[in-house]
Structure 1
Amino acid sequence: MRIRLDPWPIDTQDGQLTLEPFKGLVFNVESDDWRAIPTRGIPKRVTKVLVVDGKPRMEARLLLEDDAGNMSLAGFGAFVVGAVSLCPHGSRQAELVDVKARRVLAYSGDVLLEPTRLSPRNPHTGVLEYAPHAYSGAHVEGARSAVQSLMLNAERDFSRELASEMPLDEADENALPETLVLQDGPVRVGEAGRAVIGYVKTLHTDYLGADRIGLLAQLGCGERTPILRFTVGDSGEADYRGREQRFTWYVRLCDAPFYQHPLAGVMRLEMHAPEDTDFVPRAVIDAANLSGALLTRLGSQLHKDARAPQNLIPTAALEHAMTRAMGSHELVTRRIRTHLARELREGVLA
């Protein structure tokens, strides 16, 4: 028996590798020759790459009680989305484009609530306002899921706003747009037609199967697999009709140390696939061809980031900016306790 290390730290939510088999069908669309494809470099016409990410945070779990004594679960939460703008040719420094933070009172029920304002004793620390957002169900983690969903939607909208249109021509040599968006995680429903590339840091789903997966261990730095196509949520049932189709391919960012599993340093990428077509648009192939050169530059180093190399350098910098935008968790929690204590005390005295 040979033991290898999963490189990601044990205190992260999941490891870097799980490889649950994908139950649906995956098709070769670029080539039936399953071999490594070298990077082609970054074309000069691509002048801007934006890295988009989001971050959710639960700030307090709540129990709501109405005048009739009915109780329901809720939570104060926050989320933030942001972007970093890069020149893929290194002619300018990276710059923070925008960081947008929002606070939410997520609750279960159909009663309309007013926004909750937490006014500080010190006027210089600002007012915290939680906008109400109702969700269905009464699960204990419902509020957390609602905040996560709102963040993903905001991230999708931000990526769509920043990305260029994505031509779907099969042969146009100039189809690749000037601006590409790298979005942390899979691409989302509603982003079709835009130049958004989703980068998936973990390998939790195996889209390749036993006959293809061996190539991942053989990829050299910057090399990629041929492009594949699958349907989101395909369960393998004969009459299944999925919501959306995706292109996907894998890229190696760096060689894995000998003591780590051989898929360490590999990342999966996604783009939207047009329906009812049996070809790969030229712009998607061009994006795949440049992805190796781009990601090997942006991959983080283990001595600086425990999730290296998949947690890209711009992503790590953006995470720090987003955490600052939400403010100190400890201070926010203290203000919530103070606010609720004052509200309850005033209610009792009244």
Structure 2
Amino acid sequence: MRIRLDPWPVDTFEGQLTLKPFAGLVFDVETDVWQAVPTQGIPVALREVVVVDGKPRMEARLLIDDEAGELHLAAFGAYVVGAVSLCPHGSRQAELQQVRARRVLAYSADTPLEPARLSPRNPQSGVLDYEPHAFNGRQVEGPRAKVQRLMLDAEQALSQELASAMALEEGDTDTLPETLVLQDGPVRLGRGGSAVVGYVKTLHTDYLGADRIGLLSELKCGERTPILRFRVGDRGGHFSEAEGREQRFTWYVRLCEPPFYQHPLAGIMRLEMHAPEDSTFVPHAVQAVANLSGALLQKLGSKLHKDPRAPQNLIPTAALEHAMTRSMGSAELVTRRIRSHIAAAYGAGVLA
């Protein structure tokens, strides 16, 4: 028996490694030879790397009785998305971009609510404007899911805005974009054709199978696996119509060697990009991004003595997380403002 440590902090929702088998089909598209691919360094043509992330927050739950005596759910929430722009060659300092909180009044579509403006007693504290957004049904998690969905949509829009266009046809000769966006988590449904790479920090799904996963523990720093292709939502041939049209390229990269006491996949990250429908080839641009990904992520990977989610929680991501938390303000003070608002509104009969 061998016991190894999962390096992910225990206060996170899940560990870094669970590896539930992917139920669908995964195809070879780059090569039939399953072996490590060395990094080729960062080309001069790549002028900018932008790291995009988002952060949601629930601030207060609401219960609303309608005129018929039925109970409905709502919530005050907030989310923020932002970016860090950096030069992959280290020629300038990193810069924060578009870090701004947006506040949401999420409500069941059965009970429409008006926008809520929370005015402080001290004018210097600022006004909190909550924009109403409806969700379907009466599920307990409905408000939280709505805030999360709005954040993901905003992340996608920001990534698409900042990334260079990317040629994905088989005959295209353009091989590398000038601006590459690294987006925390998988790439979102829709919106292919841009240089957006999703980086997945946890290994919760096994896309390789028992006969191939062993290569991950053999990868040296900066090396990657060959590129594979899969279809989002594939459950062995059963998937929703929306998911069934979406395909992804994916590969794995080693950022660093794990300490002896951690499991052998501790320094591994999975990357993914949009794939053309039913493609049997890898576009030159995607392969170029994969080839530089190892060298780039080695430079951006965090260190264990500074970040408990190292190395997968990238250095720019950690800085961005701090900026996003500040932009939403003190959760305690916001909660006090909401309580005062509800007390005043209830007394006026606005929210009942």
SS at match of 1:210: coil
The equivalences for 1:41-52 within 5 A come to: 41-52=41-52
Which whole-Å CA distance do the structure 1 matches of 2:238 and 2:168 have between them? Answer: 29
Tell me, yes or no, if structure 1 residue 63 matches structure 2 residue 87: no
Please list every run of at least 4 consecutive aligned residues from structure 1 whose deviation after the TM superposition is greater than 6 angstroms: 238-241
Instruction: Find the counterpart in structure 1 of residue 29 from structure 2.
Output: 29
| Amino acid across the alignment from 1:65 | D
The equivalences for 1:135-214 within 5 A come to: 135-170=135-170, 174-214=174-214
Instruction: Find the counterpart in structure 1 of residue 313 from structure 2.
Output: 311
The equivalences for 1:56-95 within 5 A come to: 56-95=56-95
Which whole-Å CA distance do the structure 1 matches of 2:339 and 2:112 have between them? Answer: 23
Q: Deviations over 1:66-96 (max 9, x none)?
A: 2333220111000000000010111111011
Which whole-Å CA distance do the structure 2 matches of 1:11 and 1:22 have between them? Answer: 26
Tell me which of 230, 244, 247 is aligned to 2:246.
244
Instruction: Find the counterpart in structure 1 of residue 230 from structure 2.
Output: 230
Contact 2:66 2:111 in 1 (8 A): no
Q: Deviations over 1:179-227 (max 9, x none)?
A: 1000000001122011000000000000000011000000011000000
Which whole-Å CA distance do the structure 1 matches of 2:108 and 2:72 have between them? Answer: 6
| Amino acid across the alignment from 1:290 | L
Contact 1:156 1:190 in 2 (8 A): no
Instruction: Find the counterpart in structure 2 of residue 279 from structure 1.
Output: 281
Instruction: Find the counterpart in structure 1 of residue 16 from structure 2.
Output: 16
Which whole-Å CA distance do the structure 1 matches of 2:44 and 2:136 have between them? Answer: 49
| Amino acid across the alignment from 2:83 | A
SS at match of 2:273: strand
| Amino acid across the alignment from 1:246 | R
Tell me, yes or no, if structure 1 residue 127 matches structure 2 residue 130: no
Contact 1:200 1:269 in 2 (8 A): yes
Contact 1:256 1:264 in 2 (8 A): yes
Which whole-Å CA distance do the structure 2 matches of 1:25 and 1:240 have between them? Answer: 15
| Amino acid across the alignment from 1:63 | L
Instruction: Find the counterpart in structure 1 of residue 216 from structure 2.
Output: 216
Instruction: Find the counterpart in structure 2 of residue 293 from structure 1.
Output: 295
Runs of at least 5 residues in structure 1 that lack an aligned partner in the other structure: none
Contact 1:119 1:126 in 2 (8 A): yes
Contact 1:72 1:109 in 2 (8 A): no
Which whole-Å CA distance do the structure 2 matches of 1:239 and 1:160 have between them? Answer: 26
Runs of at least 5 residues in structure 2 that lack an aligned partner in the other structure: none
Query: 1:346 Cα deviation (Å)?
Result: 4.1
| Amino acid across the alignment from 1:227 | I
Instruction: Give the TM-score, by structure 2 length.
Output: 0.96
Change (3 A) 1:135 1:347: closer
Contact 2:5 2:263 in 1 (8 A): yes
Change (3 A) 1:78 1:278: same
Which whole-Å CA distance do the structure 1 matches of 2:64 and 2:131 have between them? Answer: 15
Query: 1:100 Cα deviation (Å)?
Result: 2.7
Q: Deviations over 1:312-345 (max 9, x none)?
A: 0000000000011110001000111111122223
| Amino acid across the alignment from 1:124 | Q
| Amino acid across the alignment from 2:187 | V
Contact 2:233 2:240 in 1 (8 A): no
SS at match of 1:333: helix
Query: 1:65 Cα deviation (Å)?
Result: 2.0
Contact 1:182 1:196 in 2 (8 A): yes
SS at match of 1:146: helix
| Amino acid across the alignment from 2:162 | L
Query: 1:268 Cα deviation (Å)?
Result: 0.1
Contact 2:245 2:277 in 1 (8 A): no
| Amino acid across the alignment from 2:296 | L
Which whole-Å CA distance do the structure 2 matches of 1:87 and 1:238 have between them? Answer: 43
Contact 1:119 1:127 in 2 (8 A): yes
Instruction: Find the counterpart in structure 1 of residue 257 from structure 2.
Output: 255
Which whole-Å CA distance do the structure 2 matches of 1:335 and 1:272 have between them? Answer: 43
Cα RMSD over matched residues? 1.5
Which whole-Å CA distance do the structure 2 matches of 1:239 and 1:64 have between them? Answer: 36
Which whole-Å CA distance do the structure 2 matches of 1:227 and 1:50 have between them? Answer: 22
Contact 2:167 2:174 in 1 (8 A): no
Query: 1:28 Cα deviation (Å)?
Result: 0.8
Query: Alignment length, in residue pairs?
Result: 348
Instruction: Find the counterpart in structure 2 of residue 345 from structure 1.
Output: 347
Query: 1:173 Cα deviation (Å)?
Result: 5.3
Which whole-Å CA distance do the structure 1 matches of 2:122 and 2:302 have between them? Answer: 40
Which whole-Å CA distance do the structure 2 matches of 1:220 and 1:167 have between them? Answer: 30
Which whole-Å CA distance do the structure 2 matches of 1:99 and 1:321 have between them? Answer: 7
| Amino acid across the alignment from 1:135 | F
Residue identity (%): 73
Change (3 A) 1:112 1:345: closer
| Amino acid across the alignment from 1:315 | T
